[in-house]
Structures are given as structure tokens and as C-alpha cells.
A and B are shown apart, each in its own frame.
With several copies, the nearest count.
Chain A
Amino acid sequence: MKKLMNKAEDYVDEMLDGLILVHPSLVRDGESGRVIRRSAGARQGKVGIASGGGSGHLPLFTGYVGPGLLDTCAIGNVFEGPTVNSCLEAIRLADGGRGVLRLYGNYGGDRMNFDMAGDLLEDEGIVTTTVLGNDDIASGDASERDKRRGVAGLIYAYKLAGASAEAGADLETVTRVAAKAVAATRSIGLALSPCQVPTAAHPTFTLGEGEVEMGMGIHGERGLWRDGMKPADALVEEMIGRLLADRPEGAGERVSILVNSLGATPLEELFILYRRAAALLAEAGLSVVMPLVGPFATSMEMAGASISLCFLDDELAGLLATPADCPFWKVG
């Protein structure tokens, strides 16, 4: 596996250098430059939203900083949580005086570091709350949802909580909306080929030439099954079937769907998947609101795709539609 990079250790910092050069709405901040914030800074009087996570998932997590979305993002090395210091800085830089929601994916490292950062901030008077993305249904039984990993569906929580904060809601409300968004979202992914961590000697896993793995995580964590490659429609049927079987209690008939490339899978194939997914949702009596198709949360060059469903009620549907603007996603 080949990567367009210089020294592997510089992968993240050189990536961030390029990112902010191209997108002046983003600024690097923090002692080691591992926080991305809006160039305008935290808006006084707005609830702040700080996220964070490992690198290698662009546009996630870093790319979603902007009006109607995140205020700051702490950036870890590839597939590693951000350091406690970066988490701390991301929270501080998101603070506009009305508290900060820590909104990130449910991974051990990220959680420990954001927790430690919270402990350290207690005496600074910044009030914080936490909501963890846990949309990946392949990463745990429905009975232990809070142990599931966060994957692409996290962008719904970004969008919905971001809209709530932008509209002037207080920390309690923004936190409630984020938690509701997470509770309303389910994802599942499949992989066709691995990716490689820049510093590693080998790809994160191997998959036979004719094989597909259902339920694989965005760091190459093992999935539900591995088998011979199947037609796209059959794969989509299984994915949508699993997602609907895990539908949140009380879910209504409105749903937003995200068909996401994990990296190497081209747009063409995402549209082929979407076609079948849309038909299945219609058959299930669901109506699709704001379908999203593209690379929203990747694993570098991994080939594969994920599908996320976010079940919407009136409140969430309204928040989803409000304007938002970051370099990789513009709504309205």
C-alpha cells in the first residue's frame, strides 16, 4: 500500500497545514497545533460544541468545523484519540460563555482524554456536557447501545446539535438535541479492501480478492461476517434490513440517509447503492429527507461504504434543514 506522504510522523501535521491553507475558515490552534477552530473564534453567547477524534477520517472529524456545526475539533494521530491537552484546548476554544458540549465518537481513547480534560477544566468554570456517538450497530448488541462505536452517523449529531446551538439554545437543550440525534441514528459499514496507518508496516487487515466484510469499523475493527463478494443490491438489502431491525423505539416515518464512501469506493458505486436503498426505504413506508451521498467519514484509502439512517421527528427535521457551512458540507 502506497501513500502520498513524506515522513509518516508528519502525516497529520502536514495534512493540517494544507487544510487550513485551502480553507481559511479553519484555523489551527493549541500548543501543538492540534485543534481546528473557526477562524472567527467562539461566538460569545453561543453554546460551544467541541469534538475530537483520530486523524484519517476526513472530512470527519476536523472538517465539520463551521457555522451550524462544530466550533472546535481536537485532532489525534491517525486512528488515535486526541491528547488530553488537545481536548482541553478544544473545549476552552469552543467556550462562548454558555458552556460547551463535548460531542465525539465512543472510542476508549477519546473518552478517557475528554474525561480527563473535563476534570482538569472543573476549576476554570467552563460548564461542559458530553454526548457520545454510538451509531455503529455492528459494534454491539442493541441491549448495550452505549458500548457501540461512533461512525459516519455522527455527522447528524453535529448538524442537529450545531443547528440548535446556532439558534441560541442553552447547553441543556443543545445536549438534549445531540443525545436525541445519536439515539435516532444507526449505521453499518462494509469493507472491500484495507487501509494502512502511515506509520505501520502493513495494511490494517487483509481481505481476500473476492471477499467482503460486513460490519467492519472505520479503523478496520473486525465486523459481523466475511464472505465472498455479493451483488450491490444484496449487500444493501442486508444493510438496510439490519438498520431497520434496529430502528429506535418510536421512530416515525421520516428518515435521512447517508450513503458514505469509506475512501476508495467511487461516487458511481455509492449512487448504485443509494438507488436500492431508496427503494427499500420506500417499501418500508419511510420517506427520505435530505439524502446524503459521498465521502463524509472515511478510513483513508479503505474501499467500502457505510449506510446511516437518522430517524427524524419534527424537531430534528427542522434542525436538519437549517443552514450550515463547513468546507465539506454546505446546507441551505
Chain B
Amino acid sequence: MAARVENLAAAVARALAGIGPIERDLDAADAQLGDGDTGGMIARVIGRMAATDLSEDRDMGVALTKLAKAAAAATGSSLGTLVATGFLTVGKAVKGREEVPWGEWGPLLATARDAMAARGGAALGDKTVLDGLDAVAEAIGAQDTREAVAAAALSAGRRSLVNFRDRPCRMGRARLHAERSVGRDDPGMLALVLLMEASLSPEAPAA
């Protein structure tokens, strides 16, 4: 079983459908120590991605690159730019393919993670979206069905939130308030988990 452009489009559509409460929660999380805009920004990114017409696309690389460009056109914020970087990286890696087996997504997310680290300068352990992504990439490595990937990704993402909650933040706007960040979720990591919750809900098995 493999992911195709339809799956991508459906996931984006589900994220859009669920964005309302996510937006508010993320703004609130970012407002604790940052500038309070993560939610509004993510909503804009998802909206722009959802407005991207993928109906004629079969090439996963093309589709992911289009979504990356939609993200990059929607914002220049740290997180949005990292999301665009991640999509672009995976898009390059799967260029020319119509199907990407679920078993490949672990390594693909690891590539995205590394490209995002290179772009943003954060290291694993800094308590950013990268740590969530790292846990997810690791956890889904061995899974080869959509359902298993979704379940593993979700539980790894949620676990990463718990694991990092009581650690200090070392990157981004909240870095200066490392002590105060203890006990609080990183907005980027939280965004990853909430969006996965919205977009990885069950769907009809792909063709």
C-alpha cells in the first residue's frame, strides 16, 4: 500500500476542516513566550495548501512541491518556512513517482527533518517542531500500511509533547525564557500533533 496524490489532497482537506480550534490553541501556546501568531499563520498555510489544485497531478513530487510553494507564498514565519522546506525536501526525493509506499515515509520524514535543521539552525533536543518530527520519523519507520503509519505517527507525536513538556526550550523566540518554557508545549511541536490529529483520521483506504 502506498500514498498517492489523492491521499495528500485528502489529508490537507481534513486539516482545513479541523483548523478552527487548532488555530486558537496554537495562538495561545505561542502567546505564552513568543509572539502569539503560530495558529493564524498555520491556518493561512493550510488554507493556501487546500486552495492548491492537485486534481490533475499524479506525480507525488510535483504535488508536494506545489504544497511547499503554497506554504512559502503564504508566510515568511519561522515555522511556515520550515514547513515549506520540509515539503520541498520530500517533494524532491519522490519526484517522478505516483506512489510512495507507506514504508518509505519514515526515512523521507527524516530527510525533511535534516533539511529543516540545516535551514533553521536548530539541533535535536532544542524543543522545536524538529523533535516532534524526529519522533514521528523514527516511529513510523517499520510500518507499511496507512493505518499503522497514522497510529504510530500520532502516538509518537503525542509522546514527544509529553517527553519535552518539562524540558527547557533552546531555540526560537521562547529560547530566552528557557526556565519559563518548562511545563509548556512548544507551539511548533504542538502544531505538528494537532495537524496530524486532524489529517490522519481514518479515510477510505487508498486505491
A and B touch in the complex (CB under 8 A): yes
Interface, chain A (partner B; CB < 8 A): 9, 32, 52, 54, 74, 76-87, 107-110, 112-113, 115-116, 139-140, 147, 197, 199-202, 204-205, 217, 219-222
With A80-B76, A84-B72 known as contacts, the answer to whether A202 contacts B81 (CB < 8 A) is no
Residue numbers in B under 8 Å from A199 (CB-CB) = 37, 40, 44
C-alpha spacing A52/B77, complex, angstroms: 12
Contact A116 B119 (CB under 8 A): yes
C-alpha spacing A86/B175, complex, angstroms: 27
Contact A83 B33 (CB under 8 A): no
Contact B78 A112 (CB under 8 A): yes
With A109-B81, A112-B82, A116-B119 known as contacts, the answer to whether A76 contacts B37 (CB < 8 A) is no
Q: Report the minimum CB–CB distance from B114 to chain A (whole Å).
A: 15
Contact B75 A80 (CB under 8 A): yes
Number of residues on chain B facing chain A (CB within 8 A) = 32
Q: Report the minimum CB–CB distance from A138 to chain B (whole Å).
A: 8
Interface presence of B97 (CB below 8 A): no
Residue numbers in B under 8 Å from A80 (CB-CB) = 37, 41, 75-77, 80
| 25 A-B pairs (CB sep. < 8 Å) | A77-B44, A80-B77, A80-B80, A81-B77, A81-B81, A83-B74, A83-B75, A86-B76, A108-B120, A109-B77, A109-B78, A112-B78, A112-B81, A112-B85, A113-B76, A115-B119, A139-B176, A200-B27, A200-B37, A202-B28, A202-B36, A219-B37, A220-B35, A220-B36, A221-B176
C-alpha spacing A219/B77, complex, angstroms: 13
Tell me which of A76, A140, A219 contacts B35 (CB under 8 A). Answer: A219
C-alpha spacing A134/B184, complex, angstroms: 27
Contact B40 A76 (CB under 8 A): no
Residue numbers in B under 8 Å from A116 (CB-CB) = 81, 85, 119
Residue numbers in A under 8 Å from B177 (CB-CB) = 222
Q: Report the minimum CB–CB distance from B145 to chain A (whole Å).
A: 35
Contact A221 B31 (CB under 8 A): no
Interface presence of B34 (CB below 8 A): yes
Contact A87 B76 (CB under 8 A): yes
Residue numbers in B under 8 Å from A76 (CB-CB) = 75-77
Q: Report the minimum CB–CB distance from A199 to chain B (whole Å).
A: 4
Kindly report which residue of chain B lies nearest to residue A76, judged by CB atoms: B76
Contact A110 B31 (CB under 8 A): no
Please list the 9 inter-chain residue pairs (A to B) with the smallest Cβ-Cβ separation, ordered nearest first.
A81-B76, A219-B35, A108-B78, A199-B40, A80-B77, A109-B78, A76-B76, A112-B81, A109-B77
Q: Report the minimum CB–CB distance from B46 to chain A (whole Å).
A: 14
C-alpha spacing A199/B26, complex, angstroms: 13
C-alpha spacing A217/B37, complex, angstroms: 14
Tell me which of A82, A86, A110, A221 contacts B34 (CB under 8 A). Answer: A221
Contact B35 A221 (CB under 8 A): yes
Q: Which of A52, A74, A83, A86 has the most CB of B within 10 A?
A: A83
